[in-house]
Structure 1
Amino acid sequence: MALTRINPLPETQALVEEERYAEAADYLGFFMAYDYVGDDPAAQVIYQSIEDRRSDWRYQLDKLGEGLFNGSSDETIGQVASVTSDFLVIGDVRDLANQGMNLVHGEEVDEVLFALATLGLVATSAQMASAVGTGATAGAAAPAVAGTTVAKSSLITLKAARRLGKLPNWLKDSVITAARQARQTRSLGQLRTMLGDVNILAKTRGGLNMLENTQNATDLRRAARFADTFGSQSATLYRIGGTAAIDISQRAVILGKDTILLAATFGKTGLKVLDRVGTLKFTKFTSRSTKMVYKGDLLALIAKLLLSLPVWLLYGIIVFAAWLWTPGWLLSALGRLLKLRPQATP
């Protein structure tokens, strides 16, 4: 009774009104894979209108400029422009120059962005050195090139997160510390171990939202595992379930990826039910719920409330309710039966 399908159209329309077309496409697209939305003519019209808007050349041109001049974008073409400028060192030099000008004019210097640009130059130097080594060793140094490329890509992602206000405080401190050490060692130090996880999040449209809510390196590792498991669907899955989605994803091998995605169409409640009862029972519940109709929302509200209670308390309520609602005559009969029961012979 606690399971109620999400209607994605109101949220999608709100995103469209805010001109967040890429997010709207991802969100609605997640639900279009299920018949109750995919077969809805209204959903089909909205989804097509979003795709038409995103394919318009003027929209694409705007997103290209957004990535090139602002260093961040929510669309692929803008992200490519942003990454390209940073990979060619232009972005790092630009950021260092901008922060230098702020210092000269007595304006606030973004220490984190300055540190990221510094680390970007270090990563670029390492990348060039690895490339030269690959040529000299006939490809033996290729893994080193791949590693430095991942590091560079991850630093670009951290820059975007900083500009959008999505870089968590714990990671800011790590970046500044790494930049100070890099000036002497010319290496990324301990930060390198986290850049691989950042790179995984970078491949997901909603990866920066997950990054923002991490509290430490362990959270980052869990978020990266979640994004790696669900790929392009992880952004919407996280939007629906938040940390509950990340928690349950750690058991994807046991529960099944498709079952977790199905549970998400019932919202965070669906994820909680799946986590509590397991795949087999959840599948039975969902097949049954499509055939049940309730008059009003009271029973569903009570069911969701009970779902949030600890298991031991829930069983206590059931036992108490059974005792309370048992007819008096039955209790009396049980009492007489116990009294009449013959005593054991010593």
Structure 2
Amino acid sequence: MALARIDPLPETHALVEEERYAEAADYLGFFIGYDYVGNDPAAQSLYQSIEEQRSDWLYQLDKLGEGLLHGSSDETIGQVASVTSDFFVVGDMRDLANQGLNLVQGEEVDEVLLALATLGLVATSAQVASTLGTGATGGAAAPAVAGTTVVKSSLIALKAARKLGKLPNWLKNSVMTAASQARQTGSMGQLRTMFSDINILAKTRGGLNILENTQNATDLRRAAHFADIFGNQSATLYRVGGNVAIDISQRASILGRETILLAATFGKSGLKALDSVGALKFTKFASRSSKMVYKGDLLVLIAKLLLSLPIWLLYGIIIFAAWLWTPRWLLSILRHRLRLRPKTSL
């Protein structure tokens, strides 16, 4: 009873006010597939208005320019423009030129972005060499082309993360080290081993928000596994459950992907409950809870209050309630039997 379904409308309205329409659509879209939100006229109206804004041609044009000029965007059209420009060297040359201009004007130079642009040029050279090798070997070098493409797309994702302020410090250090190694040996060192995981997050809408909160390569691997399972629902699931969602995703093969998504509609507490009682019991509870109608939130508040009590006090309340509600005739029999119990000698 302490669990309550998330109302996504307040958070969605807040995102709309900040003009984060793509994020608002993903967030509300996560919940609208469930009847308690999907059947709400207010939710339907809000979702429709967001989609109308996103489909407006002026909005789309603005996002296209955002991707071309800045190399980052939260909308698909801007992301495509950004990735396309970076794949064809234009993006790396643009970023190098911008940092050079900053240097000439006496402004701060972003060393990390400079390093990523340099690594991007190295990766492009390797990609061109691999492509030419594929033609010369009749396709035998195709795996090398695929490998360099993963490297390139991962570097593009890291650049986007840097521009959006979502590149974690531990990855900044890895990028700087890799740039130094690339200049000396042509190799990107340990950073290369992370590219497949970065690429998974890069292909996931909102994946950079998850990348931002990783602390090391192990966190990155777990986050990539999470994103691989939940795809474009990962960002909202992470917004709702944080690291609890990532932890429980490691058991998705046991608990079930859809059950985890269902539990997320009850918030972080729902995910914890699922992890505690298992998929079968939680699904039965969720089915019953959808049919419950309470007059106000009194029972929910009482249940949450009981959960917040120390365990010794909770046991005390249970014992007192049991004593209070036990029929008087049963207590009388118990006392009579205790008086008649024979004494044992030492």
TM-score, L = length of structure 1 = 0.92
Mapped pair 1:327 → 2:323: yes
The C-alpha deviation readout for 1:233-255, integer Å capped at 9, x for no partner, is 11111111111111111111111
Name the stretch that deviates more: 252-261 or 36-45: 36-45
| In structure 2, distance between residues paired with 1:106 and 1:70 | 21
Aligned AA (2:317): A
| In structure 1, distance between residues paired with 2:306 and 2:250 | 25
1:167-246 alignment, distance < 5 Å: 167-246=167-246
Contact 1:29 1:47 in 2 (8 A): yes
2:164 counterpart residue number:
164
Residue 147 (structure 1) shift: 1.0
Residue 344 (structure 1) shift: 8.6
2:288 counterpart residue number:
288
The C-alpha deviation readout for 1:306-333, integer Å capped at 9, x for no partner, is 5578xxx64x555433333343876786
Residue 340 (structure 1) shift: 3.9
Mapped pair 1:250 → 2:250: yes
Contact 1:204 1:231 in 2 (8 A): yes
Mapped pair 1:85 → 2:85: yes
Residue 100 (structure 1) shift: 2.3
The C-alpha deviation readout for 1:194-223, integer Å capped at 9, x for no partner, is 111111111112111101111111111111
Sequence identity percentage: 78
Q: Which runs of 5+ in 2 are unaligned?
A: none
Residue 298 (structure 1) shift: 4.3
Aligned AA (1:293): V
Aligned AA (1:64): L
Residue 106 (structure 1) shift: 2.9
Contact 1:269 1:304 in 2 (8 A): no
Aligned AA (1:263): A
Mapped pair 1:42 → 2:38: no
Q: 1:21 to 1:15 in 2, by over 3 A?
A: same
**SS class of match (1:242):** helix
Name the stretch that deviates more: 137-146 or 36-45: 36-45
Contact 1:95 1:113 in 2 (8 A): yes
| In structure 1, distance between residues paired with 2:287 and 2:130 | 55
1:276 counterpart residue number:
276
The C-alpha deviation readout for 1:135-155, integer Å capped at 9, x for no partner, is 122111111111110111111
Q: 1:296 to 1:52 in 2, by over 3 A?
A: closer
2:301 counterpart residue number:
301
Aligned AA (1:323): I
| In structure 1, distance between residues paired with 2:227 and 2:167 | 17
Residue 257 (structure 1) shift: 0.4
TM-score, L = length of structure 2 = 0.92
| In structure 2, distance between residues paired with 1:127 and 1:300 | 58
Contact 1:273 1:307 in 2 (8 A): no
| In structure 2, distance between residues paired with 1:63 and 1:94 | 18
1:64 counterpart residue number:
64
**SS class of match (2:4):** coil
The CA RMSD over aligned residues, in Å, is 2.3
Q: 1:304 to 1:322 in 2, by over 3 A?
A: closer
| In structure 2, distance between residues paired with 1:177 and 1:16 | 40
**SS class of match (2:280):** helix
| In structure 2, distance between residues paired with 1:171 and 1:99 | 20
Contact 1:66 1:78 in 2 (8 A): yes
Contact 2:306 2:314 in 1 (8 A): no
Contact 2:6 2:266 in 1 (8 A): yes
Q: Which runs of 5+ in 1 are unaligned?
A: none
The C-alpha deviation readout for 1:126-170, integer Å capped at 9, x for no partner, is 111111121122111111111110111111111111111111011
Q: 1:107 to 1:273 in 2, by over 3 A?
A: same
1:17 counterpart residue number:
17
Mapped pair 1:151 → 2:147: no
| In structure 2, distance between residues paired with 1:73 and 1:322 | 56
How many residues align structurally?
342
Q: 1:44 to 1:295 in 2, by over 3 A?
A: closer
Residue 94 (structure 1) shift: 1.6
